Amino acid sequence: MKKKYEYDAFISYASEDKGFTLSLAKELKKLGIKVWIDKFILKIGDKTSLKIGEGMAKSKYGIIVLSSNFLNKDYPKHELSGLIDKSISANNLLPIWHGISRDEIADFHPALADIFAIHSEVGIEKVSFELAKIIKPEIAKKPFFEIKKIKISEIKSGPIRHSDLPKSFLERIKSFGEKISEIEALSYEESVDSFKRDMCPGREIRIWEVITETYDDYILTRPLLSIEQKKEIYSIILDSSMQVLDSDNFKNLRYFDEKTAKNLEKNYRVLMARRIRLDSC
């Protein structure tokens, strides 16, 4: 007889990552996932360690928000030890890499680095959807988003939020723009205008630097690639910056295979994990 669990998932995290984790928990609840997280469950007078142990025992899956904050604390490690012990045979540990690299995780716990993880930079909605698909497979039948066709004339730009950008930002925009000039039609002036409309241009510029660095690293060792092949490489990396690649991405490839796409996605995420903590607006 299958064991019945009171909760679908237990979430372990460091207090510094509470903002991200609570947002994740709320998104999971919207998708019908019942989560155990101390913010929702613990009440005044409860014995914390006993309640957390109870939460792990009553949860089918264990979600871990792995970050530098997490690795530097003792208390989440106690939770992690329990989650790993529980998941050895059940295969129900679901890690989220939150601004951290594979090397850092491997140094902390080698077994964790070999477990497939989702990266937080793809966005709360995508992270929660991918987790929910594993926890409740029937959710996979529901679309993550609905594509609606509209006329180009109906697309409106967001407001200008920054009248001027720092000189260092402008130099960085020019630098990565030159690397993709042969495949990206957007001019320097148009790029600057776009970043002025971002809430956090520094963070967005860093993401584009990682995109172009991943692209540059690949094509520099392959001088015979055609423009169309370069465009496909660029498209794969762009997709990797917005989502976890899946079969829908692979079936549209013309020049490269799934293995190449996955390697590009991995390279992008490794670079992003190294750079993400340097973000500033």
* Residues labelled as active-site residues: 79
Distance from C-alpha of 241 to C-alpha of 114, rounded to nearest angstrom? 22
State the CB neighbour count (10 A cutoff) for residue 125.
15
Distance from C-alpha of 20 to C-alpha of 67, rounded to nearest angstrom? 11
- What token pair was written down for 155? 């697309």
Cα four-point dihedral sign 161, 166, 171, 175: negative
The one-letter code for the residue type at 160 is I
State the alpha helices, DSSP H only, in 43-118.
Answer: 48-57, 68-71, 75-90, 102-108, 110-113
